[in-house]
Chain A
Amino acid sequence: MAKVFIYPATSLILSTLVTRFGHQPLGSAISIREHIQTPGFDSPPIQITSDDPQYGLKWAAVEVPSGIRGRMSLYGPLVEEADAAIIIDEPDLAFGCMGCARTNELLAFMLREKNIPRLELNYPTSKEEGVTFVAAIKEFLKNLERQ
């Protein structure tokens, strides 16, 4: 079983596909769950406190906006943990929405930099492309199993 970072990290479809083929998806659900299950109710809605952007300095410099650093504090550890990655370029908002374009650019770059198996696909715009899209993900995940 491989740990597969999914991008967009909020995509339930990607998360389900990865799970279905026997791997562990790494996405928003994991990091946000950790935050909101922390005892206390300091900073609703997602319990990110001002300490998190500080922690995010590990992946982004101090001149980078705090929102990016806060997001990196969620995703940075997952990228470090990842054995593989699936990146969907220009996804529809309904497929999985990550709020900040700059964070997204940084995340995708970090995944590309990391020497791990990676699948990059354009978001499908037709039924035919959709079938090919799912098939490509299935093939990638099956190959991961063999690796």
Chain B
Amino acid sequence: MMNEQPVKIAQITCGAEYSGIQNEITTAAETVGGKMFYPDVALKDVKRAYRDFGLLVKSPDLKLAIARAQAVVEGRIEADGIFIASCFRCAEAAIVRNELRRYIVENSRIPVVSYSFNERTGASTLLTRLEALTTIARRRSLMTREVQIGTTMGVDSGSSTTKCIIMQDNKIIGTGWRPTTEVLKSADEVVTLALEESNLKISDIEAIATTGYGRFLVGKHLNADLVQEELTVNSKGAVYLANAQKGFATVIDIGGMDNKAISANDGIPGSFTMGGICAGASGRFLEMTAKRLGVDITELGALSMKSQGGDDVPMNSYCIVFGTQSLVNALASGYKREDVAAAACHSVAQQVYEQQLQEVDIKEPVIMVGGSSLIQGLVRAMGRMLNTEIVVPHHSQYIGAAGGALLASGFVNKKKEE
């Protein structure tokens, strides 16, 4: 990375400097080999651009944002990626952010990430998003891989679970899955499980990729060839397993700690969002629901599918505390367990729909991945919300590991040549 030119990321933001987070944005970009820059535009361009664009906003900084986006899309200013961000809770900026993201995706091939921040937004929060942005810009050739070759391993060190997949000649031959406790210990366990299942030794593995929250630590431990954030890896893994590598697809991953929504074209993310306002909109709330209902998380899906009604169960998982209160109140009011389970699934789907899916273009097929995709009630709720048949590919709970094993095979021939 030291010898590579930094990825030029056009910063199109409103309020970042006044929120005191400009340094965080710059630091996050530099950490992942990017360089933020403000696209320079003349005053006459600002006046022209926002009138041409047709969104007659009041805030001058938003007019400037529109002019900057136009300059990049029209090629007057060169950029490898675009970062659009504005203050959390600003309605005017939210409209501009969303419309600019759509405009960029429709009129260019430049990857874009949008985000809403407050003064507490730190570089660590932005890191994964900007890493994905620089990866798409820099490693497009790696991302175009559609067939796995050789014998490769992917390890996904997630916040809730650690997963491993071993692939050989485009087939999954070994898997390992464990709750994440100690990051390295859990990684070692899943690697051992996958090796046992595939009847291989670690020395048989030709290339390794790691992803997830613990990717750096585990990557160093396993001497991985590729250490990659989960947005690009999951996107690639999803379209590969769902056999939807060509054309548009939407990938939804409701994770243990945060959620990802990715709009992909030929498997490469065009725009994506990551995060959740509260754990209430994540898999963590469903874990709590299962615990309160006295079932294992793996049984929650089947339980929720038994529900024949339950639409009137009051449930608000916007916040995990209030969500749990709703859960307790619903049970105390005499609602059936299956109806409460279905309501919890519906609530999480609704939060993801309201908070994240508005930030990406939903295009079919919609693919759900991650451990939560095995909760049928959640998949059903999301399908109803989006009015589409959701695709859940095989091994969907191993998505990061599968994507990692696929992408790692890009290193197999390189290593042989060396």
State the A residues within 8 Å of B (CB): 42-46, 48-54, 63-71, 74, 93-94, 97-102
Contact = CB atoms under 8 A, between A and B. Distances in A.
Interface of B: 14-23, 26, 43, 46-47, 57-61, 63-64, 86-90, 92-93, 117-120
Contact of B88 (A42, A66, A70, A101): A66
A14 to B, nearest CB: 16
A45 B60 contact: no
Contact of B23 (A44, A65, A94): A44
A100 to B, nearest CB: 5
For the complex of A and B, the 4 pairs showing the least CB-CB separation, nearest first, are: A67-B15, A99-B61, A65-B87, A70-B18
Contact of B59 (A45, A48, A64, A99): A99
A102 B89 CA distance: 12
A42 B23 contact: yes
A45 B16 CA distance: 11
B89 A53 contact: no
A67 B18 contact: yes
28 contacts: A44-B22, A48-B20, A50-B19, A50-B21, A53-B20, A53-B119, A65-B87, A65-B90, A65-B93, A65-B118, A66-B118, A67-B16, A67-B18, A67-B19, A67-B87, A68-B18, A68-B90, A70-B19, A93-B60, A93-B63, A98-B60, A99-B59, A100-B59, A101-B58, A101-B59, A101-B92, A102-B90, A102-B92
A65 to B, nearest CB: 3
Contacts of A43: 20, 22-23
Contacts of B90: 65, 67-68, 102
A53 B117 CA distance: 12
Nearest to A71: B18
Contacts of B17: 45-46, 48, 70
Contacts of A50: 19-21, 119-120
A70 B59 contact: no
A70 B89 contact: no
A94 B43 CA distance: 8
A102 B59 contact: yes
B22 A45 contact: yes
Contacts of A74: 18
A57 to B, nearest CB: 10
A100 B89 contact: no
A38 B140 CA distance: 43
B60 A54 contact: no
Nearest to B15: A67
A70 B14 CA distance: 12
B14 to A, nearest CB: 7
Nearest to B64: A99
A65 B21 CA distance: 13
Contacts of B14: 67, 99-100
